[in-house]
């Protein structure tokens, strides 16, 4: 381009700017209303599918009575039953007791006495009826010619001491019943002496020792005599006359075979 054409072009551009032209004109017309579609947005990668969280499967609730029943039935002798009781973990009394109170006396004796639960002295020594109530029981037995060292076998419904010597709870009695029933079957006495209300609950399914005492009934297929607990007699000496009548009834039963 020579200088004349250059100056002419600059003059023409200046004239156009003065007229208000502020943008270049393309060779082809442009439709300003023809808006191009927006560019597609990039598609984000789909997140990996997550499986719905599964609810934790609840553990089957343990039935302590059913566990006790299986353990008791598996015992083939008294030593096995004692081991089964020692291994039983579903009774909270075990955690607060010093000793397992299993039995005392002579296995296979004609008379089996079933008490309620160990007290402080029993828990300490690991034998039933060794405190004041036990000393009275020994005197009562001696009065009719019986002796725990030669002719009586003794156990309790509960093998562990309840805290502060409280009464056994129904659920505690229920879980110990299979062991007690098996204990009676393995000891095989001729007669049972059921001592106290809670023992009657476990073996007879009812309470009310003042009404039940003195009458022979059947428990676990054995002749059974409910009697006052010696601890009750220590608190209520006037009831000893009834206990003496019951002892005489026991003596007559053993004598008559």
For each of the chain's 257 residues, which pLDDT tens digit applies? 555 576 667 666 666 666 666 666 666 665 655 655 555 565 555 555 555 555 554 556 889 999 999 999 999 999 999 999 999 999 999 999 999 999 999 999 999 999 999 999 999 999 999 999 999 999 999 999 999 999 999 999 999 999 999 999 999 999 999 999 999 999 999 999 999 999 999 999 999 999 999 999 999 999 999 999 999 999 999 999 999 999 999 999 999 97
Tokens of 80: 């096995």
- Structural domain includes residue 238: yes
- Structural domain includes residue 54: no
Q: Which domain holds residue 133?
A: 64-256
- Structural domain includes residue 46: no
- Structural domain includes residue 7: no
DSSP 8-state code for residue 116? S
DSSP 8-state code for residue 131? S
Q: Are 161 and 119 in contact (CB under 8 A)?
A: yes
Q: Are 172 and 158 in contact (CB under 8 A)?
A: yes
Total domain count, the chain: 1
CATH of the domain at 157: 3.40.470.10
Quote the CA–CA distance of 210 and 229 in Å, as a whole number: 11
> Residues of 72-97 as b/e, b for ≥16 C-beta within 10 angstroms?
beebeebeebbebbeebeebebeeeb
Q: How many CB atoms lie within 10 A of CB 118?
A: 29
- Structural domain includes residue 10: no
- How much is the pTM? 0.76
Which residues share a beta bridge with 152? 111
- Structural domain includes residue 31: no
- Structural domain includes residue 12: no
- Structural domain includes residue 127: yes
């Amino acid at each position: 381009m020579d200088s004349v054409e250059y100056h002419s072009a600059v003059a023409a551009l200046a004239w156009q700017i003065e007229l208000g032209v502020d943008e270049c004109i393309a060779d082809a017309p442009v439709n300003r209303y023809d808006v191009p579609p927006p560019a597609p947005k990039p598609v984000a990668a789909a997140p990996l599918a997550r499986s719905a969280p599964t609810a934790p499967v609840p553990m089957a609730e343990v039935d302590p009575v059913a566990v006790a029943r299986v353990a008791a039935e598996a015992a083939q002798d008294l030593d096995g039953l004692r081991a089964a009781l020692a291994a039983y973990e579903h009774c909270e009394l075990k955690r607060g007791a010093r000793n397992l109170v299993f039995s005392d006396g002579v296995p296979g004796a004609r008379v089996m006495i079933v008490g309620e639960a160990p007290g402080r002295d029993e828990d300490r020594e690991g034998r039933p009826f060794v405190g004041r109530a036990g000393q009275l029981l020994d005197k009562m037995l001696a009065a009719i010619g019986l002796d725990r060292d030669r002719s009586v076998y003794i156990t309790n419904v509960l093998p562990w001491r309840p805290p502060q010597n409280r009464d056994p709870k129904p659920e505690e009695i229920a879980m110990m019943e299979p062991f007690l029933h098996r204990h009676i079957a393995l000891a095989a006495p001729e007669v049972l002496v059921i001592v106290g209300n809670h023992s009657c609950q476990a073996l007879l399914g009812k309470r009310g020792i003042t009404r039940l005492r003195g009458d022979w009934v059947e428990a676990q297929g054995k002749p059974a005599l409910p009697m006052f607990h010696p601890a009750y007699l220590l608190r209520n000496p006037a009831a000893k006359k009834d206990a003496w009548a019951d002892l005489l009834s026991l003596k007559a039963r053993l004598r008559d075979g």
